[in-house]
Copies of this chain bind each other. A is one copy, B any other.
Amino acid sequence: MDNPRIDEAALARLLDGWCTDARESLHRQLAAALTALISSGELPPGTLLPSERALASTLAVSRGTLVTAYTTLRSLGLLDSRQGSGTRVRGVSQPRLPGSATRLNPLSGTADRSIADLSSAALPGQDWVAEVVGSVSPDDLRRWVRGHGYHPAGLPALRAAIARHCTEDGLVSAPDQVLVTSGSQQALQLIATAMLAPGDEVLVEDPTNWGALDAFRDRGARLRTIPLRDDGVDADVLVRLLRSRRPRLLYLAPTVHNPVGVNLRPALAKVIAGAVAETGTALIEDLSSVDTLFTGPPPPSMATLAPDAAVLSIGSLSKLFWGGLRVGWIRSTVDFVKQLVTYRSSADMGSSVPSQLAALRLLEYVPRARRTRASQLRAGYEWTAELLSTHLPDWEWVEPDGGASLWVRLPEGNALAVAEAARRGGVLITPGSVFSATDGQLDRVRVSFAAGPDTVLEGVQRLAGVWRTRRRLR
């Protein structure tokens, strides 16, 4: 065997700072920290870990804590123990072609109509969007078709319209501060490509948007998590990590957080904005869900709270109008945007011109579309909450400020197992670990209502059946 091994002293150094959260059990914190080291590649597959006894002694914890942490990781498939040969990292499979690795894509859902899909939170387009998009005419297109069609920064008129849109939402912006992207996911990918080298540290909330985790991991970043509790992100931990770790990037979704659905409280937003400015950290604020707010105008963006900091604000037309346009944006300083444009050329040369022309027209309908979306989503939430309260009274959630899903705490059981049992019972929900950089959130599932009231009714009834069965079996 020429696999690597790591001794207890070296592992303890890697684990530095694993135990920061007085409100969380030691074995969970340890399991989360080990998972992070495995996910980030610092403990490569095949690595022989120290014995439970040796590591417990070095970390000054009970052997029971170690045993429980290792057992958790074995049950997640991250560790492999064999009699006589110790405990080894099985590791997160690195998808490489040709091979058989698969990525979990919560979006993929199912085409099987007999299954109630409460796993996708992607919204259908508004009815009248087809009219507006289809109104782009040969005359509108002709002047653009006479050119080569590559506009890496976006069509000038669309950049100007998005700048006006941002300004109306309170974030004063000039056209040169806007880069048009193919949706918010590409915005994340471009920033990650431009800013991250392998090993760079990125602070993310736990839970967070899985698409962001994907983008950062693709660049080989090391992810460090900040706990997000029901009352908001842990600003103390966040500020301490900003000061002590000086990470390359901080990623936050301050408005209608994905998957939790809540807004960052204004007082915390100010504290974080101050720390970002003070430490010079580059901040990505993902505002792509702002159009799913149930009520009221969007809260002030972090870019307005920290006007001198390096903030990249991400927006999108997908939630308000239609994802099929693939139109989103990055709003930042003129210099940041200029540099990102070169990466955009390298990624795909620019966005679809017909989609950009359609987006330009759709932006005239923002206030009307927001009113419609808000009432649709609020009704969807109330219907789903009512059904869950009736059929699954011991499932809990914090009422969201927007979005198309509920972030549910299970009273017991592992969310991965519950989601798998649900799937066999004909309903798809997303286990919390998908949204966790450390494969944590094992007591949470995301239940979406984007698929409409009938599907939600059917889905919740099936979930209740699955849950009763599990209860009986215990």
Contact = CB atoms under 8 A, between A and B. Distances in A.
A381 B322 CA distance: 44
A22 interface: no
A111 to B, nearest CB: 11
Taking residues whose C-beta sits less than 8 angstroms from the other chain, chain A's interface range is 35 or more
A388 B351 CA distance: 36
Nearest to A354: B354
Contacts of A350: 326
Interface stretch (A72-80, A181-189, A234-242): A181-189
Contacts of A182: 182, 348-349, 351-352
A272 to B, nearest CB: 20
A418 interface: no
A122 B149 CA distance: 9
**Considering residues A126, A197, A339, which has the most beta carbons from chain B within 10 angstroms of its beta carbon?**
A339
Interface in A92-110: 94-99, 101-103, 105, 107-108
Contacts of A144: 125, 130, 324
A231 interface: no
A325 B349 contact: no
Contacts of A122: 148-150
Contacts of A340: 97
Contacts of A130: 138-139, 141-142, 144-145
A237 to B, nearest CB: 26
A129 interface: yes
A279 B105 CA distance: 33
Interface stretch (A13-21, A32-40, A81-89, A212-220): A212-220
A395 interface: no
Contact of A120 (B141, B148, B151, B335): B148
A146 B134 contact: no
Given A134-B141, A354-B324, A102 B342 contact: yes
11 contacts: A97-B194, A125-B144, A127-B145, A145-B324, A148-B323, A149-B318, A182-B349, A183-B348, A189-B347, A324-B353, A354-B358
Q: Please name the 6 residue pairs, one residue from A and one from B, whose CB atoms are nearest each other, closest first.
A: A149-B324, A134-B138, A352-B352, A324-B353, A122-B148, A149-B323
